[in-house]
A and B are shown apart, each in its own frame.
Chain A
Amino acid sequence: MTGTGARISGGRMWPWLALAVGAALAVPPAQDRVQERMQARAPDPDILYFASPDAIKKMALGYEGLLADIYWMRAIQYYGRREEAERRPVRYKNLAAMLDITSTLDPDMLDVYRAGSIFLAEPDPVGAGQPEQAVALLDKGIARHPAEWRLRLDKGFIYFWFLKDYRHAGQAWLDGSRLAAAPPWMAGLAAMALSRGGEIETAKMLWRQQLEQSERADIRENARNHLASTEVAETLWTLEFFIEKYKEKAGRPPRQLEDLVRAGFLRRVPVDPSGVPYDYEPASGYVGLAPETKVRYLKVPEEYRASFRRKLEELYGSASGRG
């Protein structure tokens, strides 16, 4: 046709364009309907498509570094997005697998072992509540970086705080203290853990180390919460101790905490680390954090209560001394 000089002119474009826009507008609602059906049928939305770290490493085709970064970001999002975690049947079911994959893809990312072990070990709802998996992750890191003392510090820490296995904690710190780059206080830490009774002091020292030395804001925040919680626990145990002492002396519980000051047990009524006074119910003897407190209380091991009480008894056990 063109050869004869005739021209094929274009037709009208607008009806087709309108149809394209109309169809495009129908796409989002259609997609939403499909997604609704998918969600209604899906038994568990928390799926890890590839679970074998070695298989993923092979399939990375040389882009392991990039894939490790993606898995690390995914692990952080998986752990950090609280609302998303609340919707899962098990909050952090796949966290250990994600960290295992990340550390296989890139064994040199120290944060994967260090921060990852804390994410794993913290009990539900803060973490996955899997301290054994945290130790396994740190062991993987130690095998790769045998000269890295901080991994042994973390391993001892998981044993000490989450597993209450002071012997293994002390051993991990002792091993760490023998490394060339280890700081001098690590041997002291090992000694403290291996001797009985010094648990809470060791714990406070460890959380303080994390607070001062970690470069990660989330880890520092966690350490701050634990230090505040330890302070709260110690104060509550002290208050309970003196309430009992008051009862022994006066034959009835104090009507308010100020009575303990008046009776000479305390110098002043304590407040929690956020400055809010503690709640006290004379009838039940309950003493605890007030609802308006800003402290994010993380459970302090019950075992520490006994040794702390022993210390109080040694100091004030015989008579109504000053607190």
Chain B
Amino acid sequence: MNIAVVARNTFRENIRDRVLYNLILFALVMTVSSIALGQLTLGYERKVIVDLGLSAISIFGTLIAIFIGIGLVHKELERRTVYALLSKPVRRHEFILGKYLGLLATLSVNVAVMTVGLWLSMLYQGGIEPAGYARILPAVYLIFLSLALTTALALVFSTFSTPALSALFTLFLWIAGHFNYDLLEFAATSRTAAMRRFFQALYYLVPNFSNFTSIDSRNVIQSAAYAQPVDWTAVGWTTVYGLVYSGALLALAVAVFSRRDFK
């Protein structure tokens, strides 16, 4: 129950902070590009609209996840509202989970509205089969999963670090997470067994964000743009990975937050 209350308050606070203003920016980007791209791409307008729309959903979402996520706990500490909350019968894990779910709710509203915006742009372009509209949904789903993981990552840092450092750490891991398969290569080419094990451990430790960007060695945004078939098994395993990793991060956030003393 308490989790829902904290989540609802976090969501409301985000709305009050005008997080949804980015939707206006998204609408502007999509409208202008829908009109302008016809003259620039010569024959690939529909593909470019889908590429641009899904990339924008991902970029805007990631920015929100990082920059709101890093302040989730820190802001409450700074404003000292955390004392009032925790003195009530709200347990620490409920506070962390509520915060997390509140931001996920904000992100899901964002992603949903932007998806509708993308559909409208596709409709404006015209000439797209009904299956083409449905085909962007698996890509949107995977983008949302990656946002959930990014949020969990930002939340962990938020429990013990300042917003500036948390943003830096999260951004760093988000970028590094796109190069995860290189760690496997390093492991394979390492001369010593210790180095090999080190890189292998790092490979599992760093959150693998490329899992959410390519399925079956195809980029998810591109295969949505070409309406190529979806490998549902791979999507299933990516979901499992996202849930397990985010779960581990949330548990870590709760653990760190539980140990903290508040003066």
For residues 268 through 297 of chain A, which have their beta carbon under 8 Å from a beta carbon of chain B? none
Within the assembled complex, what's the spacing in Å between the Cα atoms of A63 and B40?
A: 19
Cβ contact within 8 Å between A65 and B42? no
Cβ contact within 8 Å between A76 and B55? no
Please judge, given known A-B contacts A62-B178, A66-B52, whether A109 and B44 are in contact too, CB under 8 Å: yes
B212 beta carbon closer than 8 Å to chain A: yes
Nearest-CB distance from A261 to chain B (Å)? 46
Which residues in B have their C-beta under 8 angstroms from that of A173?
none
Nearest-CB distance from B213 to chain A (Å)? 3
Name 19 A/B residue pairs within 8 A (Cβ), A-sorted: A58-B179, A62-B210, A62-B214, A62-B219, A62-B221, A63-B59, A65-B50, A65-B219, A65-B221, A65-B225, A68-B51, A69-B52, A72-B41, A77-B40, A106-B219, A111-B44, A215-B43, A216-B42, A216-B43
Which residues in B have their C-beta under 8 angstroms from that of A77?
40
Tell me which of A62, A69, A73 contacts B213 (CB under 8 A): A62
A61 beta carbon closer than 8 Å to chain B: yes
Show the binding face of B for A, using Cβ within 8 Å.
Answer: 40-44, 47-48, 50-52, 54-55, 58-59, 175, 178-179, 182, 209-210, 212-214, 219, 221-222, 225-226
Within the assembled complex, what's the spacing in Å between the Cα atoms of A69 and B50?
A: 11
A148 beta carbon closer than 8 Å to chain B: no
Within the assembled complex, what's the spacing in Å between the Cα atoms of A62 and B40?
A: 23
Tell me which of A61, A106, A215 contacts B222 (CB under 8 A): A106
Tell me which of A61, A64, A69 contacts B48 (CB under 8 A): A69
Within the assembled complex, what's the spacing in Å between the Cα atoms of A215 and B52?
A: 23
For residues 28 through 82 of chain A, which have their beta carbon under 8 Å from a beta carbon of chain B? 58, 61-66, 68-69, 72-73, 76-77
Please judge, given known A-B contacts A72-B41, A73-B41, A76-B40, whether A62 and B212 are in contact too, CB under 8 Å: yes
Nearest B-chain residue to A62, judged by Cβ: B213
The total of interchain contacts (Cβ-Cβ below 8 angstroms) comes to: 65
User: Which of B42, B48, B179 has the largest count of A CB atoms less than 10 A from its CB?
Assistant: B42
Cβ contact within 8 Å between A69 and B43? no
Within the assembled complex, what's the spacing in Å between the Cα atoms of A216 and B44?
A: 11
A248 beta carbon closer than 8 Å to chain B: no
Within the assembled complex, what's the spacing in Å between the Cα atoms of A77 and B42?
A: 11
For residues 217 through 253 of chain A, which have their beta carbon under 8 Å from a beta carbon of chain B? 217-218
Nearest-CB distance from B26 to chain A (Å)? 14
Cβ contact within 8 Å between B212 and A65? no
Within the assembled complex, what's the spacing in Å between the Cα atoms of A218 and B44?
A: 14
Which residues in B have their C-beta under 8 angstroms from that of A64?
219, 221-222
Which residues in B have their C-beta under 8 angstroms from that of A216?
42-43
For residues 102 through 142 of chain A, which have their beta carbon under 8 Å from a beta carbon of chain B? 106, 108-109, 111
Within the assembled complex, what's the spacing in Å between the Cα atoms of A104 and B204?
A: 28
Tell me which of A66, A215, A217, A218 contacts B51 (CB under 8 A): A66
Within the assembled complex, what's the spacing in Å between the Cα atoms of A111 and B43?
A: 9
Which residues in B have their C-beta under 8 angstroms from that of A218?
42
Please judge, given known A-B contacts A69-B41, A73-B40, A215-B43, whether A63 and B48 are in contact too, CB under 8 Å: no
Which residues in B have their C-beta under 8 angstroms from that of A69?
41, 44, 47-48, 51-52
Cβ contact within 8 Å between A65 and B43? no
Within the assembled complex, what's the spacing in Å between the Cα atoms of A62 and B219?
A: 7
Nearest B-chain residue to A112, judged by Cβ: B44
Cβ contact within 8 Å between B178 and A61? yes
Cβ contact within 8 Å between A65 and B51? yes
Which residues in B have their C-beta under 8 angstroms from that of A68?
51, 222
User: Which of A61, A72, A108, A217 has the largest count of B CB atoms less than 10 A from its CB?
Assistant: A61
Which residues in B have their C-beta under 8 angstroms from that of A61?
175, 178, 209, 213
Q: List the 4 closest A-B pairs by CB distance, nearest first.
A: A62-B213, A65-B51, A65-B222, A66-B55
Which residues in A have their C-beta under 8 angstroms from that of B221?
62-66
Which residues in A have their C-beta under 8 angstroms from that of B179?
58
Cβ contact within 8 Å between B58 and A63? yes
Within the assembled complex, what's the spacing in Å between the Cα atoms of A63 and B214?
A: 10
Within the assembled complex, what's the spacing in Å between the Cα atoms of A76 and B209?
A: 32
Within the assembled complex, what's the spacing in Å between the Cα atoms of A64 and B41?
A: 16
